[in-house]
């Protein structure tokens, strides 16, 4: 069973920066994609950024030029990061880490979620 643990959330002033981390543990045959989603109060969960294995990252229009997603160089660590710069109050949300992959060579792709970390942008 794969487990995802996020860290790095908190309270920051507008214009500030935060870096989120998500570490995956457990057995998985191959990872196809890792990414970040967010959910603000009263809104649906939305994609922030994804970084498929061997493919360039994609970003929501609302965060392009401000957020950077990356994965650890050591694939065994299976860690994904989200560097968030020039934060705005509208970035306030719970941020969730997502991993998509195959538990075994014969498995279909399965999605896993972290427990979420709160990011609050306020003066």
Cβ contacts of 61 within 8 Å, gap of 6 or more? none
Q: What is the pLDDT of residues 65-83, one digit of tens each?
A: 999 999 986 656 789 999 9
Burial 81-107 (b: 16+ CB within 10 A, else e): bbebeebeeebbbbbbbbbbbebeeee
Average of pLDDT values for 11-28? Answer: 95
Question: 1 falls in which pLDDT band (50, 70, 90)?
Answer: confident
pLDDT of the residue at 57: 96
Tell me the pLDDT tens digit for each residue of 89-113: 999 999 999 999 999 999 999 999 9
């Amino acid at each position: 069973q794969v487990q995802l643990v996020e860290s790095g959330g908190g309270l920051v002033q507008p214009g500030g920066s935060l870096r989120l981390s998500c570490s995956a543990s457990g057995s998985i045959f191959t990872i196809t994609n890792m990414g970040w989603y967010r959910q603000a109060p009263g809104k649906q969960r939305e994609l922030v950024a994804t970084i498929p294995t061997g493919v360039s990252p994609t970003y929501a229009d609302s965060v392009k030029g401000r957020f950077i997603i990356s994965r650890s160089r050591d694939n065994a660590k299976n860690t994904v990061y989200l560097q968030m710069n020039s934060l705005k109050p509208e970035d306030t949300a719970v941020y969730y880490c997502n991993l998509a992959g195959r538990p075994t060579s014969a498995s279909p792709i399965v999605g896993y979620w972290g427990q979420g970390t709160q990011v609050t942008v306020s003066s």
